[in-house]
Amino acid sequence: MSAATNVCIIGIGIHPFGRTDGVSGLDQGAHAVRAALADAGVAWGDVQFAYGGSDAAGNPDTMVDRLGLTGMQFINVRNGCATGGSALFSAQMAIRSGEFELGLAVGFDKHPRGAFNALPSEYNLPEWYGAAGYMVTTQFFAAKIMRYMHLYGISRRMLGLVAQKAFANGVHAPHAWRREEVALDTILNAPMVSDPFTKYMFCSPGEGGVALVLASEKKARELGIRPIHLAAATMRTRPPASFEVFAPSIEIGGGINTATRLAAAAAFEKAGIGPGEIDLAQLQDTEAGAEIMHMAENGFCADGDQEQWIAEGRTAIGGALPVNTDGGCLACGEPIGASGLRQVYENVVQLRGLGAGRQVPGAPRTAYSHVYGAPGVSAVTILHT
Amino acid sequence: MPDAPLHLMGGRHRQTGRVTFPYPGDGPGAEFDPVALPTRGTVWSYTIQRFRPKTPPYAGPEAFEPWALAYVELPGAVIVEARLVGVDLDAIRIGMAVELTRVALDPAAQDPFWLPAFCPEAAQ
């Protein structure tokens, strides 16, 4: 592949996550775009194309109203929890193919308070499944970690330590929603939401927007920008015999193969590096159990090794593989369309060495991001300096 | 309880033999034959639903009591998702032997909507 078709991230922008009353999801996305353009030092008129994602906050392409009617190409992406990852995948393809030199991936959302209320018809499921009270994502995450803890001897204390780390990291991330530390005992002894998880172990649907300016390596050079390289961006759907959100049944012996394993393997192959060469990772932590299971599903450790990894602090900021350095979904909340791009935003901040209180020491050179969601989709990116 | 013995209806894929639940139906392009699933199995995993799910789509009563949700492995067939009843919420264990029963979505309803459920083998 020629140097000209390599893809770089040259600008990043974010609207703080959490709750911003009076500001629409779309305007949070537009805010992020303006910030990303300013960061890259380019103008809206320089943007040749955009892929925009939102699950519940309107059609992303309508933001041209706010940003300027340049006639540019703007394609909307709606792909569940992989929406941001899919927007980024599509954007990098548009550059890699040689069609365009500079464009945007943008994602935003604004969800009502409380758990997501998905409807069975949206997931090809019978109406009774929803009437029974099974269209509840927390049930899946709880049942999945319950099985995992049973098989691999993971203790409930680990769930508490993961949440404690998330809130500790979030303190230092200006874009995070929860920015106060929470004591381990408080986390472990809080009211149960869906056993074995207490309320501090789940992320909440929220609001936010993220934009990334992408360019060909040649274009980045012309602009005089020191870019972050996008070595891989992959998105995969579920394999046979997986255990996914909203599953009325699972194949016997199933629950091992996942969309995440497929997306991770494809990303490592494309990037030409292995998990041991990654300096930091953002792993989908819809709840504290997901981070633990995703450490193994993404290839960073063997099933069951997490107990030791976490006890030794290997996933903390100063550890061998810092995970969710901005507090992840637990501290930032989950605006679906923006969530996957937030991870990439955070990775760029870290690779630029601008993480301040949450900066990974030792000038990290590679960074990994991973999202997972219903009905069994996953997206992965690998960045390097 | 009904007169005929309860069973769940799954679907067996005609080419691969893979069993799924619920039976996907016999519409155009149907690839599954209906199959009665075993009525005894073991708890594969579980959780407790501690808050009232949002309505819609949840159609249970306004007054909410936590309930147990399990994945039950039916040997030789499939792992199915269903309510777990007749057991203390803190006594549920992965691997415990259970058998099929049913539970009313709203126990106070005159003509209740029945859901598949499992209970410990000894409890029925």
pTM, full prediction: 0.94
User: What average pLDDT does chain A have?
Assistant: 95
Q: Computed from CA positions of residues A367, A34, A331, B46, in that sequence, does the dihedral angle turn out positive or negative?
A: negative
Q: What is the mean pLDDT of residues B76-95?
A: 97
**Contact A248/B80 with Cβ under 8 angstroms?**
yes
Dihedral, A74, A79, A84, A86 alpha carbons, nearest 10? -70
Name the band, by pLDDT with cuts 50, 70 and 90, for residue B122.
Answer: confident
**Contact A140/B67 with Cβ under 8 angstroms?**
no
pLDDT of res. A376? 87
Token pair for B92: 């549920």
Taking only the tens place, the pLDDT of each residue in A335-344 is 999 999 999 9
Q: Does A115 touch chain B (CB under 8 A)?
A: yes
Beta-sheet strands, E only, within chain B: 9-13, 19-20, 32-36, 40-49, 67-74, 78-84, 97-104, 114-120
Measured between alpha carbons, how far is residue A253 from residues A303, B78, B79 in Å? 16, 9, 9
Break chain A into its structural domains and give their ranges.
3-113+207-229, 120-203+230-384
Name the band, by pLDDT with cuts 50, 70 and 90, for residue B123.
Answer: low
Q: CA nearest A76: which of A110, A109, A106?
A: A106
Residues 6+ apart with CB under 8 A from B2: none
Token pair for A104: 């945007």
**Strand partners of residue B12:** B19, B33
**Contact A200/A183 with Cβ under 8 angstroms?**
no
Taking only the tens place, the pLDDT of each residue in A169-193 is 999 999 999 999 999 999 999 999 9
Q: Is the complex ipTM higher than 0.90?
A: yes
**Contact A104/A74 with Cβ under 8 angstroms?**
no
Enumerate the residues of chain A whose CB falls inside 8 A of the CB of residue B46: 143, 146
Q: Does A56 touch chain B (CB under 8 A)?
A: no
Residue ranges of alpha helices (H) inside chain A are 25-40, 64-67, 83-96, 127-131, 137-152, 156-170, 184-189, 217-223, 259-271, 288-297, 306-311, 328-332, 336-351
Nearest CA in chain B to A112: B54
CATH no. for A3-113+207-229: 3.40.47.10
Q: How far is A150 from chain B (nearest CA, A)?
A: 8
Put simply, the answer to whether A119 touches B47 (Cβ < 8 Å) is no
Look up residue B17 and give its DSSP letter. Answer: -
What are the DSSP calls for A246-273, one per residue?
A: T-SEE-TT-SS--HHHHHHHHHHHHHT-
Put simply, the answer to whether A115 touches B54 (Cβ < 8 Å) is yes
**What is the C-alpha end-to-end distance of chain B, expressed in Å?**
12
Put simply, the answer to whether A131 touches B57 (Cβ < 8 Å) is yes
Print pLDDT tens along chain A (385 aa): 444 479 999 999 999 999 999 999 999 999 999 999 999 999 999 999 999 999 999 999 999 999 999 999 999 999 888 899 999 999 999 999 999 999 999 999 999 887 777 889 888 899 999 999 999 989 999 999 999 999 999 999 999 999 999 999 999 999 999 999 999 999 999 999 999 999 999 999 999 999 999 999 999 999 999 899 999 999 999 998 999 889 999 999 998 899 999 999 999 999 999 999 999 999 999 999 999 999 999 999 999 999 999 999 999 999 999 999 999 999 999 999 999 999 999 999 999 999 999 999 999 999 999 999 877 899 999 999 9
Put simply, the answer to whether B49 touches A130 (Cβ < 8 Å) is no
Helix/strand/coil for B113? coil
Domains A3-113+207-229 and A120-203+230-384 share a fold: yes
Q: Does A250 touch chain B (CB under 8 A)?
A: yes
**Contact A88/A233 with Cβ under 8 angstroms?**
yes
Alpha carbon distance A35, A166 (integer Å):
25
Q: How far is A130 from chain B (nearest CA, A)?
A: 5
Task: Give the fold, CATH level 3, of A120-203+230-384.
Answer: Peroxisomal Thiolase; Chain A, domain 1 (3.40.47)
**Contact A10/A225 with Cβ under 8 angstroms?**
yes
Taking only the tens place, the pLDDT of each residue in B59-71 is 999 999 999 999 9
Q: What is the mean pLDDT of residues B5-13?
A: 93
Residues 6+ apart with CB under 8 A from B65: none
CA angle at A322 for the pair A321 and A327, rounded to the nearest 5°: 155
Q: Are strands B9-13 and B19-20 parallel, antiparallel or unpaired?
A: antiparallel
Put simply, the answer to whether B105 touches A132 (Cβ < 8 Å) is yes
Domains of chain B by range and CATH?
38-123 (2.40.50)
**Strand partners of residue A261:** none
- Judged against a pLDDT cut of 90, whether residue B26 lies above it is answered with no
**Contact B84/B92 with Cβ under 8 angstroms?**
yes
Q: Computed from CA positions of residues A40, A42, A44, A45, in that sequence, does the dihedral angle turn out positive or negative?
A: negative
Measured between alpha carbons, how far is residue A278 from residues A10, A173, A381 in Å? 21, 21, 11
Among the partner residues B79, B94, B115, nearest to A249 by beta-carbon distance: B79
Put simply, the answer to whether A126 touches B54 (Cβ < 8 Å) is no
Task: List b or e across A222-254, with b for residues whose CB sees 16 or more CB atoms inside 10 angstroms.
Answer: ebebebbbbbbbbbbebeeebbbbbbbbbbbeb
